[in-house]
Amino acid sequence: MRIVAAIRRFGCRFVALALLTVITLSSCGTQSADQTGEPSTSVEVDVLSGGDNPAWILIDDEAAELRSLIDDAQKRGAGAPAQSGLGFRGFIVHNLGFESGAEYDSLRIDQAGIFLERGGAVVEVYEDQDHEAFRWLRERAKSQVPETIYLDIPSTEP
């Protein structure tokens, strides 16, 4: 009842202000960003078919630590992710800021290596020495995803 009275009293100005507020609030949080306005680094566990995969945001220090593990990786000629189809297909990392000669959308890290992907296709492959990046992500997943999902993530043996 109070809303109707406010509309009658303030007319179009109230409606315009309310609409502007709704639009502003609805656009908040559509993409996580850090304090500089850059998109935040996120990790997705690619495990579910037909549903949303569990994901979490890395804080800046975690993203820097993961980036340093990957910076040490050696480029290798070719390769394919360890699994496709049903089950665990790797960790997909978005917005890490890894410097590479290739243009890519995301990194897929699994027990077979580090795969830079663009549009779902592998454009570059890196060796994950001693599975450091994979083990690092797997350890963090333990506190970030449901236990049933975590148990689907294999150890570092391909």
Per-residue pLDDT 10s for the chain (158 aa) are 454 454 455 554 433 333 323 222 333 333 455 466 678 999 999 999 888 999 999 999 999 999 999 988 888 877 777 777 788 999 999 999 888 877 899 999 998 899 999 998 899 999 998 999 999 999 999 999 999 999 999 987 65
Instruction: For residue 116, give the H/E element and its range.
Output: strand 113-118
Spatial CA neighbour of 56 closest among 35, 38, 41? 41
Integer Cα distance of 51 and 56 in angstroms: 16
- Check residue 8 and give its pLDDT: 57
Integer Cα distance of 154 and 107 in angstroms: 18
Integer Cα distance of 154 and 134 in angstroms: 10
Instruction: For residue 94, give the H/E element and its range.
Output: strand 91-94
Q: Are 72 and 118 in contact (CB under 8 A)?
A: no
Give the pTM: 0.74
- Check residue 85 and give its pLDDT: 74
131 burial (CB, 10 Å; 0-12 / 13-18 / 19+) is buried
